[in-house]
Amino acid sequence: MSPAWRSAAQLGLLNCEDCRLLSRAAPGMHEGRCPRCGAKLHFRKPNSIQRTWALVIAAAICYIPANLFPVMTTITPFSKSSDTIMEGVVLLWSPSSWPLSVVVFIASVTIPLAKLIALSYLLITVQRGSIKSNRERTRLYRMVAFIGRWSMLDVFVDTFVVALVQLQPLMSVGPGPGVLFFAAVVVFTMIAAETFDPRLIWNQSEVIYGRHS
């Protein structure tokens, strides 16, 4: 890592996120408004850690009912069965459709949980001022941000099935309360990934190296 690298913050420069105009921060100020488009300017996303923590905790809370409540209710003239995500995984776990079971398990159970853990890890390391494996942590962040848009797959499948399987007298499928919580988990983690400022990962090393320079 070359000490010659300088971040915008170190040079007291602000980049407008809307019009990309570069501006100088007023002395002693960390924030300001873009002189051209009037957008809010800041060296780092304000309250990033606090906001991300809030969203991560909210997602973690929602993760519990998302897995305990049924996501889909199938009604036939003879029965009414409600299945949670894990019950679906178990239901699919058969010699013929185990790959599907694995896909559902990974997409619906593992990934949201992994996102929550990853974000928590990033937050904790940033708060502790860790300077180790910054690159890896940044890559992890990118992965979390990338995967976010695909996490709604389950919700999409659920809405499609509910919309299509409405053969009223014979069979109908309705959403379970679990899918709402699941969607909340996905949305909260996506927003959390958005509110997390990856520049924070590098902050401490910048300070260190800044001091040196």
Partner 1 sequence: MADTLDKNELSNVPEATSVPKKRRRLSAVWIIPIVAAIIGGWIAVQKYLSQGPTITIRFGTAEGLEAGTTKIKYNGVDIGTVSAITLSKDRKGVIVTAKMAAESKHLLVEDTQFWVVRARISGGTVSGLGTLLSGSYIGIEVGKSKDKRQAFTGLTVPPVVTGDVPGRFFLLKAENLGSLDYGTPIFFRRIQVGQVVGYDLDKDGRSITANVYIKAPYDQYVNPETRFWQASGIDVSLTANGITVRTESLVSIVIGGIAFETPAAAPVLPPAEPDTVFALFSDRSEAMKPPLGTPHTYVLVFRQSVRGLVPGAPVEISGIHIGEVVSIGMDFDMKTFGVTIPVTVKVYSELASERLVKGEQGPAPSDREHMLDKLVELGFRAQLRTGNYLTGALFIAFDLFPNAPGAKVDWSRQPVELPTTPGELEGIEQSLKNIVQKLDKLPLEAIGKDVRKALVTLNQTLTNADKLVKRFNTDLVPETKGAIIEARRTLEAAVRGLNSANTVFLGPDAPVQQEFRDTLQELGNAARALRVLADYLERHPESLVRGKKAAPLPAAVQHPAQNGGK
Q: How big is the site for partner 1, counted in residues (CB under 8 A)?
A: 45
Q: 45, 51, 113, 194: which one contacts partner 1 (CB under 8 A)? A: 51
The number of C-alpha atoms within 13 Å of 161 and in the hemisphere containing its C-beta is 18
Cα–Cα distance measured from residue 189 to residue 106, given in angstroms and rounded to the nearest whole number: 16
Are the CB atoms for 109 and 101 separated by under 8 Å? no
Residue 188 touching partner 1 (CB under 8 A): yes
Residue 45 touching partner 1 (CB under 8 A): no
The string of DSSP letters for 14-68 reads EE-TTT--EEEPPTT-SEEE-TTT--EEESS-TTHHHHHHHHHHHHHHHHHHHHH
Residue 74 touching partner 1 (CB under 8 A): no
Which listed range, 49-57, 105-113, 159-167, 168-176, lies at the site for partner 1 (CB under 8 A)?
A: 49-57
Residue 155 touching partner 1 (CB under 8 A): no
Pick between residue 60 and residue 140 the one whose CB is nearest to partner 1: 60
Binding site for partner 1 (CB under 8 A): 4-6, 10-11, 13-14, 21-26, 29, 31-36, 38, 40-41, 47, 50-51, 54-55, 57-59, 61-62, 64-65, 69, 76-79, 81, 177, 184, 188, 195
